Each structure stands twice: as structure tokens, then as C-alpha cells.
Structure 1
Amino acid sequence: MNMLVQTHRVDTRTVAAMPKEFLSFRLGGEEYGIDILRVQEIRRYEAPTRIANAAHFIKGVINLRGVIVPIVDLRLKLGCESADYTDFTAVIVLNLSDRVIGVVVDSVSDVLELGADSIRPVPEMSSSVGPGFMLGIGCIRTGDVERMLILTDIQALMSSDEMGLMAAAALH
């Protein structure tokens, strides 16, 4: 059976406005990238203080130098099959619209610089990361090996209604 996959168009203005450097990290078997300018720091995972009645992907809060930071397990949020905590599990602390949020990932890889010629449009398909949260697909070739990075609009993802994190910040 031959399936046709439609792609979203990415015009040159959109690509020009995209971040140039991305922090790459792993969730399950996939590699993702987020704008490095949104990253405040990377920390080793430590169990947060649980919050009653929080969504299953909100693990709790930590006190980061006097700032109470909600911790979101992106693996659970995006439907990864398992969310095992290992020595490689990390928390990426993000600065988003004057709000600090931590996201749990399987591991952090590296910082990559991507030019417009390395970014492909997002194909139209069913995905745990909706097309509105994806900037594109980054293609990185190292020798004979090509890596694909799902470039994520972390600001939009953390601002989604079901997260409830950014709306709560606006009220305070």
C-alpha cells in the first residue's frame, strides 16, 4: 500500500525566524531539539515534592535557589512507553515568558547549530507532539550517518491548555 504523506509548507520567513542553535535530548528512541536560548541550566534528576491532584506528567516542584519550579516529565507528557529514571535522566530548566519550568528527559546530547538548509518541514501525521508544537525536522549528517531531530517549540508546548503552567503564571 502506498501512503501519501503531506507536509506543512515552511516559507523562508519562518525558517529565518527559527532558532539557530538547539539543545538536543532523547525521549525514548527519539531525539528532540529545543531553542538553546530557552535553557537556563541542565541538572541531574532528583525527586521533586509531589503536588496533590497534579496531572500525571507533572512530577511535582523543586526549590531552585529560592524559586519554586514545576517539574514536567516530558516522557510521560508525550506518551513514551516507559519513563525509567537512570543516571542519564536529566532536568532541563527552561526560562519561558518569565516563568521557570523544569522538564525531565532521558538524556541530554549536545548543542547543535542548524542552518536553514538543514531544517525540513513537519510532515502531516498523527503524533504525540502536535504539529503546532513542532518547528521542523533537523537533519544532521555526520559522515555516512544521518540523525533527525524533532525541533520542538517548547514555549508553545508548555503553554498548551492541558499543561496549565503558563496560564497559572499569568495570574500571579
Structure 2
Amino acid sequence: MTENTADTSTGGGPGTAVADAPMVRVEDLHRSYGSGAGAVHALRGVSFEVPRGELVALKGRSGSGKTTLLNLVGGLDTPDGGRITVDGTDLSSLGENGLLELRRDRIGFIFQSFGLIPILTAAENVGVPLRLRKADPKEREERVSLLLSLVGLADHAAQRPGELSGGQQQRVAIAR
């Protein structure tokens, strides 16, 4: 990946982009589980950058640290060493509320189990993050409609997850 010399140590907080900074910067990341002879080293000295707009896929054998890396970059776990900067913000500078805001406003997770709320319609599920942000109801409705259209599910907005195929559920999660 390309080297970017922008100083990202003074990011403006979660949700504040630093224009020249990469979207994600990971420097000398370490994470182990357990201690002593039984310690499992999930990540050892991992460094990379993801420029804005770049699509990245993680590939590796089971146990190679993919999930650990994603949990660290998403602020769900804390590294033993190294530095993670997301959208110009050093994650180590954020408290629990700052990490929550970052995940709510800047990072999207699509879990293997899609995490859809069974009693909500597809449109309502897509609208959950917008509700959490207290988005204007009209803006929320327009955004949900656009997102469902983008994933080809505009005609399924009123259906609940149990009425959708697995692939359709996945697309609702992507839209969310």
C-alpha cells in the first residue's frame, strides 16, 4: 500500500476526517491471548495503510488473526502494542463513548450472522443506525429508501428478516 506522510496524530475526534490521512493506518500492531508458555500470538508487528476509497479483502487460514485484526481496527478490542488510526483518529485516544461514536458513525460491521432484528422490517433494520444518530425522520426515510434500492431490495422494504432469503438478509445488513 502507498506510504502517506500526513500527520494523523491530531485527528479531530470520531467522525472528523483528516483529508490527507489514509482511512486506516495500523502501525506495529501486536495482540496476544493468554500468558507465558501458553500465550497465543494472534498478531505480531502488523503494519499497513488503507487509502480512502480503497476496497480491501482479508484472506488467510483459520487462526491467522483476521478476526482479531478487524476487532482491533473496529475498536471492539485493545491491542497489546502498536497504534491504530481510523479516519484521522488514534483509537487509543478514545474512551468507551468515543469508540461507540466511531463505530456508530464511521465503521460498518457485517457479521456472519447478520444481526437483523426479527420483529423489524427490512427498512426498519436499515434505519436503526440512523435512529441512533437521531437523524431527521424524513432524511432517514429517504436514506433508507436509497440504501435498499442500491442493494436491490426496494420491493422488500416491508418484509421481516424471516420472510427474506439468506442473501436478501445479507444485503439488508450491508445496507444498514
- Please, what TM-score do these two structures have when normalized by structure 2? 0.20
- Please, what TM-score do these two structures have when normalized by structure 1? 0.21
| Greater relative contact order structure (CA < 8 Å, 6+ sep) | 1
Q: Which structure has the larger Rg over C-alpha atoms? A: 2
Higher percent of residues as helix: 2
Higher percent of residues as strand: 1
